[in-house]
């Protein structure tokens, strides 16, 4: 998109009507972090299993078993961990809100002074500062929300723990399946080892790059840089797993 088109789009998005509509809709939780986190980890850990098994000289059948075991067990573990972490964040916000409600009830003047200090640090002063403090503290919900954001640094946008966990599991399973798909095809079609392993490597590299590039659509980073960064991190993990498998290969027969 050229600069003129981008400028026209920005102007259209910032008309009074567009601004009012956007703000009235409220904040929509984003699950991009959960998808990228799950997808990258799924691809990295599954291909690390594959690379380690190849380095150790395991057969394709063993690679399939290890790959699918990791896909389901680790995917479920990550989903549960993300669910619990997201739930804990919500519980932290709930506890902080209860504490601020108590403070407003018991020491309202102290809480008013905190609001004053917060906006004084933002550059408000004199009658304007007094007016801001009066407006905020006249609305109990606004007062408490302001304290949560400004004093405690908490986000008021709540993410569903169930959705966060589910998105993580789906991303982990879907993208983590890619490195072992060639081995599934080999099992079904009796393909030789060399092209199957090369195909797994190529598909995994493309997946690393694609997930990183997709992330760049939502952050201030070029898709080339984001994709390359993810590809490099995944490659290092796979290389380490392969080296470990290769070094421990002599113990397999024990």
239: which residues sit within 8 A by CB, 6+ positions away?
51
Q: Which of 12-16, 113-117, 147-151, 237-241 has the lowest mean pLDDT?
A: 12-16
Q: Which of 4-13, 81-90, 154-163 has the lowest mean pLDDT?
A: 4-13
Q: What is the pLDDT of residue 254?
A: 41
pLDDT in tens, 32-86: 888 888 888 888 888 888 888 888 888 888 889 988 998 899 999 999 999 999 9
Q: What is the pLDDT of residue 58?
A: 85
Q: Is the pLDDT of residue 3 over 70?
A: no
Q: Is the pLDDT of residue 1 over 80?
A: no
Q: Is the pLDDT of residue 159 over 50?
A: yes
What mean pLDDT comes out for the span 222-226? Answer: 84
pLDDT in tens, 73-83: 999 999 999 99
Between 225 and 191, name the one with better pLDDT: 225
> For residue 41, what are its two tokens?
């980890």
pTM over 0.85: no
């Amino acid at each position: 998109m050229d600069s003129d088109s981008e400028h026209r789009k920005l102007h259209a998005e910032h008309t009074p009507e567009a601004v009012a509509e956007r703000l009235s809709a409220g904040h929509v939780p984003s699950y991009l972090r959960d998808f990228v986190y799950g997808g990258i980890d799924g691809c990295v850990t599954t291909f690390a299993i594959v690379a380690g098994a190849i380095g150790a000289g395991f057969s394709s059948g063993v690679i399939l078993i290890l790959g699918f075991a990791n896909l389901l067990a680790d995917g479920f573990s990550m989903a549960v961990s993300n669910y619990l972490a997201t739930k804990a964040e919500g519980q932290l916000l709930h506890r902080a809100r209860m504490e601020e409600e108590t403070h407003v009830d018991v020491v309202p003047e102290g809480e008013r002074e905190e609001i004053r200090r917060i906006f004084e640090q933002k550059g408000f002063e004199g009658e304007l500062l007094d007016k801001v403090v009066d407006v905020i503290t006249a609305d109990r919900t606004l007062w408490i929300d302001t304290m949560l954001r400004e004093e405690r640094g908490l986000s008021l946008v709540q993410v569903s723990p169930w959705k966060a966990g589910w998105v993580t599991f789906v991303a982990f399973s879907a993208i983590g399946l890619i490195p072992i798909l060639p081995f599934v095809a080999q099992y079904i079609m009796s393909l030789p080892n060399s092209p199957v392993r090369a195909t797994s490597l190529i598909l995994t590299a493309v997946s690393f790059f694609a997930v990183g590039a997709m992330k760049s659509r939502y952050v201030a980073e070029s898709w080339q840089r984001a994709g390359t960064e993810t590809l490099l991190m995944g490659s290092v993990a796979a290389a380490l797993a392969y080296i470990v498998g290769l070094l421990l290969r002599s113990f397999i027969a024990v």
